[in-house]
Structures are given as structure tokens and as C-alpha cells.
Chain A
Amino acid sequence: MEKKSKRLWMRYPLALSLLLCTASLRADIVIIVNPNNPVETLTEREVKRIFLGRLRQFPSTNRAMDVLDQDAESPIYEKFYTEFIGFGLRKLRRYRAAYLFSGKGTLPQEVADHGAVKAKVLKNERAIGYIDATLVDDSVKVIYRWSHQDSQGIYNYLHYDLALNN
């Protein structure tokens, strides 16, 4: 089996390189808003504060925001919170229970997938969400990009997307 893998690597170096290249792009996560939103860019700190409910309006504006989350079982949700925000999922659940039931604010609205985030952002000028960078188009505006490479994460993305599509 190992011998066969080596042969594959030797026979298709270009294809494998392309796959890795594509995969590394898929690992980028972007923060998107409606194109009519005046905010052009956010800092890493601001993004973290927004998704933890500690920044309740768009910076330098008094515009309220509707924060969107992806499905809590999805790989991008796990990657976004554990690797980018820096909260393990159990810690996040405890934190959010304290946050919600202490009257500090509401939790992000959970939507099904990348497409649902884009659809909400397109309809709602107050919306802000995160999606896979490869799915960005002109319908949304990117205000922050987090680049990250992780082959296991890439596998999870692909696997989850395939599962959703099937």
C-alpha cells in the first residue's frame, strides 16, 4: 500500500501539488458583511470581540449588528472558535450560557451552512458572518481574512461539504 502511494506521488506530482494548493485556499476563513455596510475592515481583536458578544455595534459606527454562526456541528464552526477565537467548544458553551443568561446580550443566530450565511448577509445590512474564503463572490464584502493551513481541517471541510451536498 505504501509502495502504491509512493508510485502515485511520483506519477502525479502536479495533480497533488494542485490539490494541496486548492486545499490551502479552502482553509482560509473570511468575515463577510453586506456590500452596503460602510465598514471596510476589522482587526483580529474586533472580530474576536464581536463573536464573543463583547462588541455589540460595528466599530466607529452606531450600527447594530446581527451576528451569524454556522451549524455548531460543522467543521468550520469548530475551526473558527477553537483555532481562531481560541475557545475550546466546552469553554465556549459555558461562556455563552453565562453570557446569554446574565442578560449581557443575545447569541449569534445559527444558520445551516456557508450559503445560508451569504444569503442572510445579502438580505441584511446589519449581518456579519464567517464563511470559507473560496466561496466569496461579489454579493458580499470581505472585511477580515484569517489564513490557516491544516490538512486534517481541510479533510474535514471536504468531508462535511460532501455530506451536506449528499
Chain B
Amino acid sequence: MVLRTLIHFCLLLLLSANASSASLSGFASLGVGKTNRSDGQFIDYDDNWSGRSDSLLGVQLNQPLYHNLDLTLQLLSQAIEVNDRSEFQPSVDWLFASYQISPAVRFRIGRLRTPLFLNSDNLAVGYSYDWARPPVDVYAPSIIGLSNFDGFDISMLKAVGDREIEVAFYLGRTKKEIMQEFIDIDVMTGAHFELKGDFDLFRYSFMAAKTTQYSDATDQAAASFRQFNGINSIFDAIADEGRINNEWYFYQALGAEWEGAKWTISTEANITIPPETGPGSYIRGGYIALTMQLDNLRPYIVIGHHDYELNERAIDAIRESTLQVPENIIPSLDALRQLALTAYENYDYHGLSGTIGLRFDLLTNIALKAEFQYFNAGTHLSDEGNVSSDIQRQRDHHLTTIILEVIF
């Protein structure tokens, strides 16, 4: 409530400010892509060319207000589902007031970006990086969905010899609906440390988020399991494992970049530690990218790996129930257990990815990118010979993307 009031206050300041000193700028991506699979989707792509997943438009207004005080508003219109908004319906991605306390220290309050990864801050601005999109092995939709929060941050940027050190701390909260899953984070706090030279960069970040997480599907499954509570209390335990209630997730990420005369290498790795209860996944991901600089052409390759390992308690409870109430006794219960295990596959998978692509700077503010991405993805459950849907049994996917990036 307090944060909402602050955001309204920022809007009022913005409206009352001197418009002549404002600067308006923007960015746009027009992307088309398709996968080789008709039976599964990857960020909403299937085997038909589609222009919705990677196309977006962003507009940013910067308004100086007073001595060292500025306001920034960024509106974003894209089709990817976040917070259940309609396709391409504009939303306020950021709205914050920024106050420069001293040459080194800055304070911001309002709706801010969650600065977890190297490209978290400029995630939507495809022109600023070479790939069609940041590598999914680290920038997974489930994590980057938490791309902004309402709160404040304070950062310190200081020169040390030939390098600069930036340390930032933030605190806030957020509420999202990402891919039919409701995520309500009451407390979101973190920090990052960055060491930056002219040609290299090292970054470490940490975030803790007190999270409530559920979906309609898991809630319905939980209600169904509770119907069998009269037979055995283990079904109550299974139902409890279908939801994360106000528990802590911990996120960590490491990133580095090195730029030579002809080559740029960048790499990132992340770890997410879920709560002990509920269908959270222990996540590890990483990638290494190599880009060659040839005048206005930038060919690149990326190799990545990710591993989502579901909290065992959720699966163990279902397996345990088959010992208490064996299969083939209650058909509806068997179907329910099967359904729950299949749903859990969404939280329990691993994969490799390989990408080759090319960025071509057409004009000073326009770049064209073409990218081919190969995935080999599977689930731990199917590896163990347990249930698997047909989609997940077939492990190979590839995705072709062409994107035009513009800044203005």
C-alpha cells in the first residue's frame, strides 16, 4: 500500500514537472521465430513462424526534477504473459525517483529492476546485447519473470585504480503471475557487487525472497488429494507439498566478461535454493558465450546447461502413498497420482543448449540478428523411468529466430 502510494506520488511529480527538460527515448524488437516441434512450445514458439514472443516496444521518459533528483518512467508492451495482461497491453515496467546523494552514492525508490544477472537491467533492450535473447540456461522465464519489484535501492560506485567497484543493496516486494503460476513475494532483498574495468567485468549477486507460490492446477490437485485423507493422512501431506507458503528462496549469480581487440567472452552461472517444503526446484544454470568482432558483424556461439531438480519431498510423498494405498485399488486416486507426477515434471528437468548467431549493425540505431538454437532437454523423472509425457520424452528441439532491434 505504501509503495503504491509512492508510485502514485512519483506519477504526480512527473505530471507537475517542467516538460521542456524531459527526454523521451525508446526501443523496439521485431522478432519472428519457429521451433521444429508442433507438440511442444518454447517461449510460446511452435513449428509455425510467429512474431509475438520476441516482439516488444518500450518507451522511456527521463524527467529531471530538482537538484540531483530525477524521475524515470518506462512503459513496456510485449506479448509474453506476465500478470495475466492482454497481449501487447502496455504496463509500467519502472517508475522511480532517483536521488544522487554524493558523487558515489545514489538512492532510488519506486518500481525498479531486479538486478540479479549481468543483463537483468537491460533485459528488454535487445539492441544492447548480441544474442536474440539472453541465454535461457540462466535467464529462465521463471526467474526473469521477477524482473521488477516495488521498493528502493541504494548503490555506491567508486573508482579504485583503473577499475570501478559498484555495491548495491535493495529491498522491496512483488506480485506476479508467470506462466499460470501465482508468485507473491512479501520481502525481496538482495545485493550485488561489481568490479568493472575498461575491458573486463566481474559480478556477484545475491537475493532472498520470501515467497508464496501456487497455481490453480496445484491447488485443485491438493483439494483432490485431501478427499482421500479419510483413507490415509499421507494425502494431506501430499496436498501440503503442492504449495509454497511464505518461505524463503535464495538466489545467487556470478558473471564475468572480458573484451579483447577481436573477441568478447562472457559467462554466467546461477544457483537457486528453494524452500524445504513445496514444489520448489533446486536450480543450477550456466553458459559461456564467445563473440567475434568484425566491423559491423558480430558472429557468436553460446553453450549452456541448466538443471532444475524438484524438491524430493513432493515426489517422495506421492511414492510413499503407493506403499500405504497401493495402485489398482482406487482408479481415481491412481489417475490423480499420475497427474500430479506429470505436473511435477514441469519443475524437474535439465538440458543443454547450443547457439550460433550473427548480429549485423545495419544503421547507427538498428541491428539485425539471426540465431539458431539447439536444445537437448529431458526430465529427471523420465530418466528414472517414471512418468513422462510424450512431449518430454522427445528431447531434441531447435529454434530459429530473426530479430530486428531498434533504439530511438
Contacts and interface: CB of A to CB of B under 8 A. Distances in A.
B128 to A, nearest CB: 4
Contacts of A72: 364
B23 interface: yes
Contact of A100 (B25, B157, B361, B365): B25
A17 B125 CA distance: 51
Given A100-B60, A103-B94, A93 B125 contact: no
Interface string A139-158: 00000000000000000000
Interface in A46-85: 46, 49, 54-62, 64, 72
A56 B106 CA distance: 9
A3 interface: no
B159 A97 contact: no
Interface string A30-55: 00000000000000011001000011
A16 B60 CA distance: 52
Interface residues of B, number: 41
Contacts of B70: 105-106
A62 B122 contact: no
A87 to B, nearest CB: 9
Contacts of A100: 25, 60
Interface in B346-390: 361, 364-365
A57 B58 contact: no
A62 to B, nearest CB: 6
Contact of A103 (B112, B164, B407): B112
B207 to A, nearest CB: 17
Interface string B64-79: 1001101010100000
Contact of B60 (A61, A95, A101): A101
A49 B68 contact: no
Given A101-B124, A101-B128, A93 B157 contact: no
A67 B101 CA distance: 18
Contacts of A60: 103
Interface in B25-76: 25, 27, 58, 60, 62, 64, 67-68, 70, 72, 74
Interface string B112-142: 1100000101101101110000000000000
Contacts of B296: 90
A106 B128 CA distance: 16
A46 to B, nearest CB: 8
Contacts of A64: 67-68, 100
B103 A93 contact: no
A104 B103 contact: no
A93 B363 CA distance: 11
Contacts of B119: 98
B27 A62 contact: no
Given A54-B164, A55-B103, A106-B70, A101 B27 contact: yes
Contact of A98 (B62, B101, B128, B364): B128
Contacts of B100: 56-57, 62, 64
Given A45-B162, A72-B364, A97-B128, A103 B103 contact: no
A97 B68 contact: no
Given A45-B162, A57-B100, A104 B127 contact: no
A101 B70 CA distance: 14
Given A49-B164, A97-B127, A97-B407, A102 B113 contact: yes
Chain A to chain B: the 10 pairs with minimum beta-carbon distance, closest first: A102-B121, A98-B128, A57-B103, A97-B128, A98-B122, A101-B125, A102-B122, A97-B127, A64-B68, A106-B62
Interface of A: 45-46, 49, 54-62, 64, 72, 86, 89-90, 93-95, 97-98, 100-107
Given A57-B68, A58-B103, A103-B98, 11 more contacts: A45-B162, A55-B103, A55-B159, A56-B103, A62-B103, A93-B127, A98-B119, A101-B60, A101-B124, A101-B128, A103-B108
Interface of B: 23, 25, 27, 58, 60, 62, 64, 67-68, 70, 72, 74, 94, 96, 98, 100-103, 106, 108, 112-113, 119, 121-122, 124-125, 127-129, 157, 159, 162, 164, 198, 296, 361, 364-365, 407
